[in-house]
Chains A and B, each alone.
Chain A
Amino acid sequence: MKQHLQNPTKNPPPTTTSGSTGVVTDMRVIVPLQGVVQGGGGGLILGSIIPCALFYFFQLYLKSKNRSGDDSAAPPPPQLPEIEPPGGGLQRVQSVRSIWSPRGSNSQVSSRASFVIKQVDNPYYVGLEKSCLDCYDEVCNPGGIIQLGFDENKLSLDVVQDWLMAHTKCSIVCQDLQMNGITAYHPFDGLSELKMAVAGFMSQVMEGRVLFDPSQMNLTSGVSPAIEMLVFCLADLGNAFLVPSPYSPDLDRDIKWRTGVEIIPVPCRSSDNFSLSTASLNRAYNQAKKRGLKVQGVIVSNPSNPVGNLLTRETLYNLLDFATEKNIHVIANETLVGPIDDKNQEFVSMAEIINSEEYDRKRVHIVYGLSKDISLPGFKVGVVYSFNQTVLQASKKLMRFSSVSSLSQRLLVSMFNDSRFVREFIKINRERVERMSDLFVGGLKELGIKCMKSSRGSYCWADMSGFIRPYSEKGELELWEKLLNVAKINATPGSCCHCIEPGWFRFCFASLTEKQVPLVMERIREVL
């Protein structure tokens, strides 16, 4: 396998003809089931570090879960009865259900749930949980784990807090707390005043290059439900989305967990600065076809997460050309934190391209999260912005499952309508993110760790391949473990982001104070 040769021992030999990243995903699906059968157990780290022999054993023991295309490669496990799904319309997701009852319990959970339960062994979640339990605090727990695995922006919380303290009482108690005020049922897709305010805010963030239309917008309680909702609207169970890798581990959850939709990674390489090419999109599309998966769209992040670079205008055009040719959708997750442009790059929103070009708007959908940009993590507001009326209508109805509290909505309306505050905030926030970015990346540089240039997010993508032994996913995870348990730093290893090159790590730095940066660097130095 070509990719396999280029990245020795990165992944066990694939059982399918798909890319190695596809195999890794396979492993992540299959191994969790094995864990369930054997009652779980601490040592079960994701299949990527299980030796090949075990991998083959699992393939024999377990039914292939989500890919009909796998049938040609792996012999079907003999012990598992084939349960014919009613109506013939259901995928293999169903066929592994009740067999995997959790040990010690008579009740059975769904296969969806079983899969989620086994995510407990995924380094991404292990790191998050551990750092929650042993959280660093300057005063109370100075030896605790410093959380650099959660992408949240706390740098400008004080600015928001000051505003809230000055304005809160008025906006809640004085005017709106009445029968039909904030306590009653309200439209699940968001108050129209908030939509207007958010549309204005988004335009402000993009410095007026795009005007967003509030009537094309639905508001939900975060980016995750926004993405999940779009996936539900655009793909049926068993379909697939192409996602350029490396990608944020959250997408595995948002796109796959409850929808039963598959991700086909489109690997990007450091040699190209992790940029997305039409050739790689085509390759991934064809791989999906060979496996019998219907690709319904491409999901991109701009700026990309975890790499942090901006998609160029040309890339966006190519992407839209590709989508048009294949007649599929494009979902763009655009949550901008840093400056919109500097000497090197500019941020171009998909909305800008679509407005000006002759593309079919019905295939483009934008997701936007307020939690990062306006540094309001607690508020949990995500935007689904679409030009497709059917999708808008369907997602509007779906919003009932993840609606924003009216309390938060009212607060935000007040806040966004204070345009002076918004202007100030955007300016201060950007400065602070840039400053922290320079500080953090500079600190890593002194340790001999290079980062991808010009990160636009509140994180950086660091190349630590020089510090891992062996140069493989195993080596990478060993370093991750050292960082977590010895250095007490929780960072996200590239394998969780489905990066095909070992040794890359994502560090989220926007929850740090400047004072903490030297401490972080010191700790990292310890384990290098």
Chain B
Amino acid sequence: MAIDIVQKPSVGLSKIALSQTHGENSPYFAGWKAYDENPYHEKHNPSGVIQMGLAENQVSFDLLEEFLENNQEATSWGKNVSGFKENALFQDYHGLLAFRKAMASFMEQVRGGKAKFNPERVVLTAGATAANELLTFILANPGDALLVPTPYYPGFDRDLRWRTGVEIVPIHCESSNNFQITLEALESAYDHARSKNMKVRGVLITNPSNPLGATIQRKVLEQILDFVTRKNIHLISDEIYSGSVFHSDEFVSIAEILESRNYKDSERCHIVYSLSKDLGLPGFRVGTVYSYNDQVVTTARRMSSFTLISSQTQFLLASMLSNKEFTEKYIKINRERLRKRYETIVDGLKKAGIECLKGNAGLFCWMNLSPYLKEATRESELEIWKTIMEEVKLNISPGSSCRCSEAGWFRVCFANMSEETLEVALRRLHEFMDRRRNGQVLSME
């Protein structure tokens, strides 16, 4: 089993250390490198690469700044000694109760109060990346499989598989029905896993979807829930973009469905959430596993010793998130701004002759360049991707890195830049498409 990796007399390392499962040599990450080497800057480097491959939310940062300015005590410690002592306490992987309460209430607010969350079920982790990996460790053994609908977030290949030894079996979704998950696709993925002798442990969905930028419809969620119940497997719902839905009534959380079913069979359901996207605080490394299964909560809590959030961060965020006035305002304004950005980019792309999937959430749009592919192949898709990166100087994410079964789709992020930069990006694309139409582009087609 253990392969002896011996290069001359040097000491051996594990398969994990030597594997490529971290995926950092894929195009998804190659684009980032190109950006790092030549980043766009309005003044200093106006011809640099514009980063449209990073799903980060910077549109509502001023609101956070404003809150911190007006709430200085949140950033200072120990107005009294005991306060500080509590906050600096050793983990206690339970986490600060005040913060868990604040998290639970924020998650309720994001869902418009349509579902209740119990702070005792909130397990804190250092980001959603850790939360997803943690759940995978808990629900599956090495060699088992998780079913994940395609296209999916490229990081899953690493987060769900690298250290856990668990496999991902894709649930293939197609553009013909807007990439919605169908029962046939679920069954087919399940059967495929079984044919490979893999035990299926669960289904992992991202709702709203990354990279589609669309919420999953209620009836589809019901179907998925029925499916996992029938197969007696788990359901992980990564709802990291739940606060980034453009219209609050268009998002249905699995929590709502469970509540409407009186929590019957809920112990197979687990929600992952993080503040990195909705609140635009990826640097803080705040994620959570919310499970309806007591044993999973207990285990996750103990294992969260490997991925704790510092007390200072918890304290600061507890103060921010329990300020209902602030959170309500933030959620509302954030949604508005994201929606506007989305409309800007989709209109801009349309004018350039590019269609997008109809989306209603997230920090990106799912762009369709398949009509412009030489052939409907991954190679052609990567050719276009390379051209766009090198000529147009835009870093976007090719659908193949999201395991999309159809070639030609791309994820384009719009929330990690200023409006002006977005305009520049759209202009560049526009010009590129014009040139192409006039036959001036050499390396494409």
B161 to chain A, nearest CB (A): 13
Encode A94-120 as 1/0 by CB contact (under 8 A) with B. Answer: 100110001001111111110011011
Q: Which residues of A contact B65 (CB under 8 A)?
A: 177
A106 B76 Cβ-Cβ under 8 A: no
Q: Does B153 contact A (CB under 8 A)?
A: no
Q: Which residues of B contact A91 (CB under 8 A)?
A: 1
Out of A86, A260, A404, A408, name the residue touching B198 (CB < 8 Å): A86
Q: Which residues of B contact A516 (CB under 8 A)?
A: none
Question: Which residues 294-341 of B have a CB within 8 angstroms of A?
Answer: 295-296, 298-299, 302-303, 305-313, 316
Q: Which residues of B contact A279 (CB under 8 A)?
A: none
Encode B123-163 as 1/0 by CB contact (under 8 A) with A. Answer: 00011011001000111111110000000000000010011
B293 A107 Cβ-Cβ under 8 A: yes
Q: Which residues of B contact A258 (CB under 8 A)?
A: 137, 163, 303, 306
Q: Which residues of A contact B201 (CB under 8 A)?
A: 108, 110
B11 A360 Cβ-Cβ under 8 A: yes
Q: Does A234 contact B (CB under 8 A)?
A: yes
Q: Which residues of A contact B390 (CB under 8 A)?
A: none
B17 A391 Cβ-Cβ under 8 A: yes
Q: Which residues of A contact B69 (CB under 8 A)?
A: 173
A379 B18 Cβ-Cβ under 8 A: no
Encode A324-344 as 1/0 by CB contact (under 8 A) with B. Answer: 000111000000000000000
Q: Does A401 contact B (CB under 8 A)?
A: yes
Q: Does A225 contact B (CB under 8 A)?
A: yes
A411 B312 Cβ-Cβ under 8 A: yes
B162 to chain A, nearest CB (A): 8
Encode A301-337 as 1/0 by CB contact (under 8 A) with B. Answer: 0000000000000000000000000011100000000
Q: Which residues of B contact A20 (CB under 8 A)?
A: none
Q: Does A53 contact B (CB under 8 A)?
A: no
A109 B299 Cβ-Cβ under 8 A: yes
| In the bound complex, CA of A90 to CA of B143 (Å) | 8
A122 to chain B, nearest CB (A): 11
Q: Does B439 contact A (CB under 8 A)?
A: no
Q: Does A357 contact B (CB under 8 A)?
A: no
Q: Which residues of A contact B1 (CB under 8 A)?
A: 88-91, 236-238
Q: Which residues of B contact A233 (CB under 8 A)?
A: 13-14, 16-17
Q: Which residues of A contact B18 (CB under 8 A)?
A: 390, 394
B78 A394 Cβ-Cβ under 8 A: no
Q: Which residues of A contact B77 (CB under 8 A)?
A: 161, 164-165, 168
Q: Does B89 contact A (CB under 8 A)?
A: yes
B81 A158 Cβ-Cβ under 8 A: yes
B88 A380 Cβ-Cβ under 8 A: no
B78 A161 Cβ-Cβ under 8 A: yes
Q: With contacts A116-B299, A233-B14, A233-B17 known, is A172 near B81, CB below 8 A?
A: no
Q: Does B10 contact A (CB under 8 A)?
A: yes
Q: Which residues of B contact A125 (CB under 8 A)?
A: 302
B196 A228 Cβ-Cβ under 8 A: no
Q: Which of B90-98, B205-213, B252-260 contacts A (4 or more CB under 8 A)?
A: B90-98
B12 A407 Cβ-Cβ under 8 A: no
Q: Which of B54-62, B359-367, B405-413 contacts A (4 or more CB under 8 A)?
A: B54-62
A406 B284 Cβ-Cβ under 8 A: yes
Out of A132, A254, A405, name the residue touching B284 (CB < 8 Å): A405
Q: Does B280 contact A (CB under 8 A)?
A: yes
B126 A401 Cβ-Cβ under 8 A: yes
| In the bound complex, CA of A64 to CA of B232 (Å) | 27
A183 B61 Cβ-Cβ under 8 A: yes
A377 B89 Cβ-Cβ under 8 A: yes
Q: Which residues of B contact A132 (CB under 8 A)?
A: 92, 94
A390 B17 Cβ-Cβ under 8 A: yes
Q: With contacts A109-B295, A152-B90, A168-B76 known, is A238 near B2, CB below 8 A?
A: yes
Q: Which residues of B contact A112 (CB under 8 A)?
A: 137-138, 141
Q: Which residues of B contact A329 (CB under 8 A)?
A: 11
B87 A109 Cβ-Cβ under 8 A: no
The range of chain A's interface size is 35 or more
Question: Which residues 380-423 of B have a CB within 8 angstroms of A?
Answer: none
| In the bound complex, CA of A106 to CA of B284 (Å) | 36
Q: Does B281 contact A (CB under 8 A)?
A: yes
| In the bound complex, CA of A475 to CA of B2 (Å) | 41
Q: With contacts A109-B299, A258-B137, A405-B312 known, is A165 near B78, CB below 8 A?
A: yes
| In the bound complex, CA of A378 to CA of B312 (Å) | 7
CB-nearest residue of chain A relative to B292? A107
Q: Which residues of B contact A158 (CB under 8 A)?
A: 81
A236 B15 Cβ-Cβ under 8 A: yes
CB-nearest residue of chain A relative to B76? A168
Q: Does B85 contact A (CB under 8 A)?
A: yes
Q: Which residues of A contact B94 (CB under 8 A)?
A: 132
Q: With contacts A110-B137, A238-B2, A363-B11 known, is A403 near B17, CB below 8 A?
A: no
A376 to chain B, nearest CB (A): 7
Question: Which residues 220-251 of B have a CB within 8 angstroms of A?
Answer: 232-234
A-B contact sample (14 more), CB < 8 A, given A380-B308, A405-B283, A405-B309: A87-B143, A97-B144, A132-B94, A177-B68, A182-B283, A228-B306, A233-B14, A233-B16, A233-B17, A258-B306, A378-B312, A402-B307, A403-B285, A408-B310
What are 21 contact pairs spanning A and B, CB under 8 A? Answer: A94-B142, A110-B141, A112-B137, A117-B299, A125-B302, A152-B90, A157-B88, A165-B77, A168-B76, A169-B72, A173-B68, A173-B69, A184-B56, A221-B307, A224-B305, A224-B306, A253-B302, A329-B11, A360-B11, A379-B311, A407-B313
Q: Which 6 A-B pairs have the closest CB atoms?
A: A378-B311, A406-B283, A378-B88, A233-B17, A152-B90, A377-B90
| Residue positions of A touching B, CB distance < 8 A | 84-91, 93-94, 97-98, 102, 105-113, 116-117, 119-120, 125, 132, 150, 152, 154, 157-158, 160-161, 164-165, 168-169, 172-173, 177, 179, 182-186, 221-222, 224-225, 228, 232-239, 253-254, 257-260, 294, 296, 327-329, 360, 362-363, 371, 376-380, 388, 390-391, 394, 397-398, 400-408, 411
| Residue positions of B touching A, CB distance < 8 A | 1-3, 9-18, 22, 24, 54, 56, 58, 61, 64-65, 68-69, 72, 75-78, 81, 84-85, 87-92, 94, 126-127, 129-130, 133, 137-144, 159, 162-163, 165, 196-199, 201, 232-234, 265, 267-268, 280-286, 293, 295-296, 298-299, 302-303, 305-313, 316
